[in-house]
Amino acid sequence: MLIPKSHPRAASLHIREKLVQGYRSGLVVEEGLMAHGRGESFDYLIGEKTSKNALKAIKVAAKTLVLAKSPVISVNGNFAALCPKEIVNLAKIMNAKIEVNLFYISEKRKRAIANILKKNGAKEILGLDPRSSRRIPKLDSTRRVVDKNGIFSADVVLVPLEDGDRTLALKKFGKKVITFDLNPLSRTAQSADITIVDNVIRGMRILVDISEKLTKKKNLRQERFDNKKNLAEAILVMKNNLRRKAHA
């Protein structure tokens, strides 16, 4: 669809269009369109911009990924449709592995996602070879099947738009979990180590930029980060925006 540049909601409509294209080309599942709608409503509440708390979480996430021994970027349908270039760039900067891992499992969709990432410059995509699959303990969803050379042996995993059960299972399995989730109330947001409450399409660009700068710095040290406190800040941003609207 042709979206006029002057349309007041052009940016949001363009993102929606990426998802629809992703659906038509077999990357995104129907449920992914609904998940995006939920994300949009929270994006509206945060003012459709990267807030201070999101930037803080992005900085800590960048440092955590740069300092990680075996970082892995977990990719699902929505993430692949929205940010293929950023996923590949981030993986190159951090020397991170990329693994396709789906909630609504489909071999065909896995291959379509791997292809789009390869078109954007990725060399190796994990999660496709059944011979290297392993199971995350204490998890029933299809997402329990991971690659032995990827998520299974990672120390830090970036898992945007994630399912709450797997976040908890990954944590119990000793992984540090970083996520993007526009809903600060979701189980994933609440249980991850670092939650970036921002639209992944905006936040990933900033994460790539900051990470690139960090890799040039020496003597980096992990800093303390209170995820619950930062999530409370995100909720306050929404509350204050609503209050302003109510009194306008």
Cβ-based nearer residue to ligand PTJ, 42 or 152? 42
What type of residue sits at position 8? P
Cβ-based nearer residue to ligand PTJ, 82 or 94? 82
Task: Judge contact between 69 and 96, C-beta under 8 A.
Answer: no
CB atoms within 10 A of CB 128: 16
d(CA 71, CA 38): 28
Instruction: Tell me the residue nearest to ligand PTJ as measured from the CB.
Output: 39
Rule CB under 6 A: say whether 195 interacts with ligand PTJ.
Answer: no
Q: Which stretch binds ligand PTJ (CB under 6 A): 74-82, 87-95, 168-176, 229-237?
A: 74-82
When binding is defined by CB under 6 A, the residue of 53, 78, 89, 195 that contacts ligand PTJ is 78
For 60-101, the DSSP string reads HHHHHHHH-SSEEEEE-HHHHHH-HHHHHHHHHHHT-EEEE-
Q: State the minimum distance, in angstroms, from the CB of residue 245 to ligand PTJ.
A: 20
Question: Which tokens sit at 226?
Answer: 């209170």
Q: State the minimum distance, in angstroms, from the CB of residue 56 to ligand PTJ.
A: 17
When binding is defined by CB under 6 A, the residue of 22, 23, 32, 194 that contacts ligand PTJ is 32
Cβ-based nearer residue to ligand PTJ, 34 or 220? 34
Question: Which tokens sit at 213?
Answer: 């700068």
x-or-dash string of contact with ligand PTJ, 153-192, rule CB under 6 A: --------x-x----------------xxxx--x------
Question: Which tokens sit at 243?
Answer: 């209050």
Cβ-based nearer residue to ligand PTJ, 38 or 239? 38
d(CA 122, CA 58): 23
Q: Which stretch binds ligand PTJ (CB under 6 A): 3-11, 33-41, 62-70, 116-124?
A: 33-41
Rule CB under 6 A: say whether 83 interacts with ligand PTJ.
Answer: no
- At residue 98's C-alpha, the angle toward residues 95 and 101, to 5°, is 155
Question: Which tokens sit at 247?
Answer: 């009194």
Rule CB under 6 A: say whether 127 interacts with ligand PTJ.
Answer: no
> What are the two backbone dihedrals, phi and then psi, of residue 191, each rounded to the nearest 5 degrees?
-105, -10
Cβ-based nearer residue to ligand PTJ, 103 or 173? 103
d(CA 192, CA 168): 8
Cβ-based nearer residue to ligand PTJ, 160 or 218? 160
CA end-to-end span of the chain:
34
For ligand PTJ, the binding residues (CB under 6 A) are 29, 31-32, 35-36, 38-39, 42, 76-78, 82, 102-104, 161, 163, 180-183, 186, 199-201
